[in-house]
Amino acid sequence: MTSVYDFAARSITGEEIALSRWRGQALLIVNVASQCGFTSQYEGLELLQKTYGPRGFAVLGFPCNQFGAQEPGDESQIAQFCEVRFGVSFPMFAKVEVNGEGAHPLFKHLKAAKTGVFGTEGIKWNFTKFLVDRAGEVAGRYASTTTPAALAPEIERLLAAPAP
Span 59-80, pLDDT tens digits: 999 999 999 888 888 888 888 8
Residue 44 lies in a domain: yes
Q: How far apart are CA 7 and CA 68, in angstroms?
A: 27
Q: Which residues contact 69 (CB under 8 A, 6 or more apart)?
A: none
Just list the catalytic residues: 36
The 8-class DSSP code of residue 10 comes to E
Residue 163 lies in a domain: no
Contact 123, 150 (CB under 8 A): no
What's the domain count of the chain? Answer: 1
Task: Look up the pTM and report it.
Answer: 0.94
User: Is 164 inside any structural domain?
Assistant: no
Mean pLDDT, range 21-47, rounded to an integer? 92
Say how many C-beta atoms besides its own lie within 10 A of residue 45's C-beta.
25
pLDDT of 72: 86
- The domain that holds 101 is classified in CATH as 3.40.30.10
Q: What range defines the domain where residue 94 resides?
A: 4-158
Q: Which helix (H) or strand (E) holds 27?
A: strand 26-32
Whether 70 is in a domain gets the answer: yes
What does the pLDDT read at residue 121?
Answer: 78
Question: With 80 as the cut, is the pLDDT of residue 117 above it?
Answer: no
Residue 34 lies in a domain: yes
- Where does the pLDDT of residue 16 fall: very low under 50, low under 70, confident under 90, or very high at 90 and above? very high
CA distance 97 to 113: 17
Amino acid 129: pLDDT: 97
